[in-house]
Amino acid sequence: MRIFYAVCGWGLGHATRSLPLLRRLVSEHEVIVYAEGAALALLRAELSGAAVRFVEAVPYPNIFGRALALRFFARGPALIRAMRAEHAETESLVAAERIDRVVSDSRWGVSSRRAPSFFISHHLKQLAPPPLEAAERLTEAVTWRAIRGRFRRIIVPDVATDGGLSGRLAHGLRFYAPEDLRYVGPLSDVTPRQVARNVDTLVVLSGPEPSRSRLERRLLPGIARLPGRTVVLRGLPGREAPWPLPDVEARPHARKPERDALFSAARVIVGRSGYTTVMDVARVAARALFIPMPGQTEQEYLAARLARRGLTHGVAERRVDLARDVPIAATRPGLTGLASDGGDPAARALDEILA
């Protein structure tokens, strides 16, 4: 088949969780990858040598920041224009390249009337603050209307029972028909390895700029004082930037073999509570300290939900103190066995896409 596979460029999470699917697709099918920015750089690096074409996507405006709602409304028109432009590009490419399947990981404009289209998302409604949770029915309705009828199936990277990892983001839905959804299980590109737990703290930086850089600057003094072995994955695929702590190991980016080894060796993982990071932590059954992006309601919800259940530790960026918070995280049980049914999520997703 000829597959058109689009990946959202807000951070690296959409790209890394798509890799288990893309690695299998490129081995058997003709694949065109549509992405932008750091996500495109990561996918080029991870899929180098494979028979895959890359097309630079229409860039999405960065809506993230402390005043998320205000930024969203301010940049909403630009976001809608980007989605319309990517939809037009998709239809043109589908016709010109005789595409058989369209897959979109959270690029809302990427679908086609000419080819069966599939949407990958764990975020099927916008969360409201606790006093306004009743408004989530409205946000779910808006999200549902935006994708209704455009996709053959919505593939949810989570289990269907007990709230999984995503909680209210993809569970307790009122508008989506059950037959439109396929819960395939968490999608992680990390493969656990049988290695010694010899990394005391693994710091994983990710997310769109300037959030990534701001968190790095905030953590640097604490990273320098952490005991034992600390490794920092800076989330800079295809880029080099000066690293100010010569006594601390740091990588701009780690390819899969090294990333597998580092995640498997980590006693505590420190990072944003983006959903892909949560899935990766669960995959290796690690303990974790989650620091949500300020104003990003999804990350704030995930960090608080897992901390409230006593599984991981979460702290706001402005209050983080690694000397205090990493030892607390080390006392939590982590995400061992959470949202896992022993199946192969990537295989389930591909069964839906290729059927």
pLDDT tens, 132-164? 667 778 888 888 888 888 999 999 999 998 899
- Cα–Cα distances in angstroms (integers) from residue 8 to residues 73, 104, 207, 237, in the given order: 19, 8, 12, 16
* CATH class belonging to 199-331: alpha beta
Residue 238 pLDDT > 90, yes or no? no
Dihedral, 86, 12, 312, 186 alpha carbons, nearest 10? 60
Give me the mean pLDDT over the 151-178 stretch: 93
Residue 347 pLDDT > 80, yes or no? yes
Q: Note the pLDDT of residue 26.
A: 96
Q: How far apart are CA 151 and CA 145, in angstroms?
A: 12
Give me the mean pLDDT over the 303-318 stretch: 97
The overall average pLDDT reported for the chain is 91
Give me the mean pLDDT over the 310-327 stretch: 97
* Bridge partners for 182 per DSSP: 155
Residue 40 pLDDT > 80, yes or no? yes
CB 260 within 8 A of CB 193: yes
Count of alpha carbons within 13 angstroms of residue 125, beta-carbon side = 23
Q: Note the pLDDT of residue 337.
A: 73
Q: How far apart are CA 227 and CA 155, in angstroms?
A: 41
Residue 241 pLDDT > 80, yes or no? yes
Q: Note the pLDDT of residue 64.
A: 61
Q: Note the pLDDT of residue 66.
A: 56
Residue 22 pLDDT > 80, yes or no? yes
Given this chain, do its domains 2-189+343-354 and 199-331 carry the same CATH topology? yes
Sequence spans of domains, the chain = 2-189+343-354, 199-331
CB 134 within 8 A of CB 166: no
Backbone dihedral region for residue 197 (phi beyond 0: left; psi -120 to 50: alpha; all else: beta): beta
Q: Note the pLDDT of residue 109.
A: 94
Give me the mean pLDDT over the 202-225 stretch: 94
Cα angle 301-273-293, degrees, rounded to a multiple of 5: 80
Q: Which fold has domain 2-189+343-354?
A: Rossmann fold (3.40.50)
CB 19 within 8 A of CB 189: yes
pTM exceeds 0.85:
yes
Residue 331 pLDDT > 80, yes or no? yes
Q: How far apart are CA 116 and CA 103, in angstroms?
A: 9
Residue 283 pLDDT > 80, yes or no? yes
pLDDT tens, 61-101? 776 655 555 555 566 688 889 999 999 999 999 999 999 99
